[in-house]
Chains A and B, each alone.
Chain A
Amino acid sequence: MTHRHDRLLDVPGLARVEGEGAMHVRVRDGVVEDVRLEIYEPPRFFEAFLRGRRHTEPPDITARICGICPVAYQMSACAAIEDACGVTVPPAIAALRRLLYCGEWIESHVLHIYLLHAPDFLGYDSALDLARDRRDLVERGLALKKTGNDLMEAIGGRAIHPVNVRVGGFYRAPAPADLAPLRERLRTALDQALDTVRWVAGFDFPPFHHDHEMLALTEPDRYAIESGSIVTTGGLEFGVREFERHVVEEQVPHSTALHAHLAGRGRYLTGPVARYTLNHSLLSPLAREAAEAAGLGAQCRNPYRGIVVRAVETVYAVEEAIRLIDAYEPPPFPAVRVPPRAAAGYGATEAPRGTLFHRYEMDANGLITSARIVPPTAQNQAAVEDDLTRFVAGRLDLDDERLTHECEQAIRNYDPCISCATHFLDLHVERS
């Protein structure tokens, strides 16, 4: 066991996160001086090359920001462009979007629970190692994930970068017969999802409490996914159009990274834990019951329990998908027209990892003149770094290898999607 007062911890490549990041921790005289979550994901300049593209293109183009949550990008892009053009899609199209989004929540949450996160709690390097001892568990996770993917394929054509989404709706509405086989699969998936909640609820959660302000979309009568207005645990309530007035990016002294903050209030957290804390009363009775049995209270303030919240949200998404399929009637037209006009539009939806905001400005011909995208991981970065600082301070007695491993695990609690967050972060290439 080492007890050094000056330490420099470097995790050059974080594993089991989406994209590529690194973490640097500096400890001097026994005090944690600096914690940085760094991204070396190369910049891809989406906001720049969206300029000059047609207003119909952002759903297809921005999907390519993230292969894990492309639907979130498509839905936020559609919402923003339809807002600019003054178009509201009819309820049947909105319901089909929600159904597609449920598929992505299932696929993304289950990927994270089984393949990225659970191995940490069980002491394995990967789900493939876990499968050697408990193949049944990994097979259950893969089957559940596949149901989410198949739902996305049935509606979107494929699970990664679906092709059927367009501004105004869809290219083709699925026939009820396309969705019927999925309904049976989803019944099985519901049992698997409930088993998943019970399974992860039994993990050993290190005690940790944070008091970050939390932010999520909310709707009056249901758990918000593809639409809503914004609320925070600090009592803020505002519409998506006001997002940029409340969320500001600031340069912090110890780093060149841009962090999103709530204006005048500081760091905040978005994502499953924030959604649960703000909206759990709107979950289905079954999902609420599962949450309660899993030991989740009215708030979730321990980031380690994020895996339980993801499992509960998976139950909800499966149930919601069944409900939407049962109520499904193909819309008379798969899409409504969205004629361009010179305007700005704002859209936000709840990606699996949190609130995803888009803003577009376009000219009268429908050519985009500016674009802004604020992904959840960039919003969470300040809160994650703050957690890590306190986390490391309480574990300075660990040796470097153990501490590094535990920090990695703490980061994975937040399921950072680094492919999405690249353009908010201090990015430079290490040169020894």
Chain B
Amino acid sequence: MPTLAVWKFASCDGCQLSLLDCEDELLALAGRVRIVHFPEATRASAPGPYDISLVEGSITTPGDARRIREIRAVSRVLITIGACATAGGVQALRNSADVAEYASVVYARPGYLDTLATSTPIAAHVDVDYELYGCPIDRGQLLETIGALLVGRKPDLPAHSVCFECKRRNNVCVVVAYGEPCLGPVTRAGCGAICPAFRRGCFGCFGPAETPNDAAQVDLLRSTGMSGPDIVRMRRLFDPAAEPEEATS
């Protein structure tokens, strides 16, 4: 039976919880893969190599930068799960800041921290076979990916934008109808367009879609009354590298 390992770096545990949230499928899944390392769920742990490694979280310490290399070396297929692992996560908001100052704000004895100045995605450190986006990931995508690997086909993962999902869900466009700022046009599909279904603009938690048109997105946000600093804040929350063109002008 193929083996599955789950690893955690800097994160909130929500993406690995998505696996335990597959209530209807969890026991069936446990019958198809041997979960050999998943500290959140079991005390047992077996040494590698592993057929599938799911990796949650971003790299924020020198020790973790070493650990991910060790994990890569013993993983046949490595799948990163969630915004932290694929883009650095919300904690990547440190990347444009002075981390020493950050540490002094939060910790009484910052000298004891062993932290890097940046929060970086797993792919910045090792080769990654598949990426599941989202904060958190979508359960369906997780099952699709593991299921596809078990039968030896490529997982079907979207690269298009949330707008397509809105149309499929029959959502009213929140920009057109209500003037809500929305990142749907530049955000990767996968969530099922949840926010617009709740009359809320997409805030980008699945990260950028392939080839986002940033200039047009900035115009769209401006048309809802947003101004430069707010546009930058919105774009960078889950896409730390975003340089919204002309947003700051």
Q: Residues of A at under 8 Å CB distance from B?
A: 13-20, 41-49, 51, 53-54, 57, 60-61, 64-68, 70, 111, 115-116, 119, 125-129, 131, 135, 138-139, 142-143, 145-146, 149, 157-161, 163-164, 166, 170-172, 249, 251, 256, 258, 408, 419, 423, 426-429
CA gap between A237 and B109 in the complex, in Å: 32
Closest-CB distance, B93 to chain A (whole angstroms): 4
Q: Which of A20, A44, A49, A68 gathers the greatest number of chain B CB atoms within 10 Å?
A: A44
- Can you list, as one digit per residue, whether each of B189-215 has a CB less than 8 Å from chain A (1) or not (0)? 001001101111001010000000000
Contact of A47 among B44, B105, B194, B233 (CB under 8 A): B105
- The smallest C-beta distance from B189 to any residue of chain A, in angstroms, reads 15
List 14 extra interface pairs beyond A45-B103, A146-B23, A428-B113, CB under 8 A: A19-B13, A44-B90, A48-B97, A66-B12, A126-B42, A128-B41, A142-B24, A157-B197, A160-B14, A160-B17, A163-B195, A163-B200, A171-B200, A427-B112
A426 to B26 CA separation, bound complex (whole angstroms) = 36
If A64-B135, A128-B30 touch, does A45 touch B102 (CB 8 Å cutoff)? yes
Interface residues of B in 1-47 (CB under 8 A from A): 8-15, 17-18, 20-21, 23-24, 26-27, 30, 35, 38-45
Q: Chain B residue with minimal CB distance to A417?
A: B13
B63 lies within 8 A of chain A by Cβ? yes
Chain A residues, CB < 8 A from B30: 128, 131
Which B residues, 28 to 73, have Cβ-Cβ distances below 8 Å to chain A? 30, 35, 38-45, 60-64
Q: Enumerate chain B residues within 8 angstroms of A44, measured Cβ to Cβ.
A: 10, 60, 90-91, 119
Contact (A48, B102) CB under 8 Å given A161-B14, A249-B108: yes
Q: Hey, which chain B residues are within 8 Å of A49, CB to CB? A: 90-91, 93-94, 97, 102
Given the complex, which residues of A lie within 8 Å of B106, measured CB to CB? 43, 45-48, 423
- From 99 to 139 in chain B, residues with beta carbon under 8 angstroms from any chain A beta carbon are 99, 101-103, 105-109, 112-115, 119, 135-136
Footprint of A on B, CB under 8 Å? 8-15, 17-18, 20-21, 23-24, 26-27, 30, 35, 38-45, 60-64, 89-91, 93-94, 97, 99, 101-103, 105-109, 112-115, 119, 135-136, 191, 194-195, 197-200, 203, 205, 230, 233, 237
With known contacts A66-B13, A67-B136, A258-B108, A172–B199 Cβ distance under 8 A: yes
* B100: min CB distance to chain A, Å: 11
**Complex Cα–Cα for A83 and B191 (A):** 33
| A64 CA to B90 CA, complexed, in Å | 8
How far is B200's CA from A166's CA once the two chains are assembled, in angstroms? 10
Q: Are A149 and B23 in contact (CB under 8 A)?
A: yes
On chain B, the residues within 8 Å of A426 by CB distance are 112
Q: Report A121 CB to chain B, min CB distance, Å.
A: 13
Q: Which residues of A contact B197 (CB under 8 A)?
A: 157
With beta carbons under 8 angstroms apart, the residue of A68, A115, A249, A251 that contacts B14 is: A68
A residues less than 8 Å from B199 (CB atoms): 171-172
**Number of residue pairs A-B, CB distance < 8 angstroms:** 190
- Give chain B residues whose Cβ lies under 8 Å from the Cβ of A115: 20, 41
Nearest CB of B to A337, in Å: 15
Chain B residues in 8 Å Cβ range of A256: 109, 112
> Smallest distance from the beta carbon of B102 to chain A beta carbons, Å?
4
Contacts of A164 in B (CB 8 A): 198, 200
B27 with A135: CB separation less than 8 A = yes
Interface pair B27/A163, CB less than 8 Å apart = no
Expressed in whole angstroms, the Cα–Cα distance for A329 and B194 within the complex equals 23
Interface centre among B62, B106, B108, B203 (most CB of A within 10 A): B106
Q: Which of B38, B62, B119, B198 has the most CB of A within 10 A?
A: B198
Distance (whole angstroms) from the CB of A141 to the closest CB of chain B: 9
Residues on the A chain within 8 Å of B97, using CB:
48-49
Bound complex: CA of A352 vs CA of B88, how far in Å? Answer: 28
Select B39's contact among A13, A53, A111, A427, beta carbons within 8 Å. Answer: A13
**How far, in whole Å, are A59 and B94 apart by their CA atoms in the complex?**
19
B133 to chain A, nearest CB (A): 14
Q: Are A428 and B112 within 8 A (Cβ)?
A: yes
Known: A18-B13, A43-B106, A125-B43. A161 touches B135 (CB 8 A): yes
Q: Is the CB of B13 within 8 A of A68?
A: yes
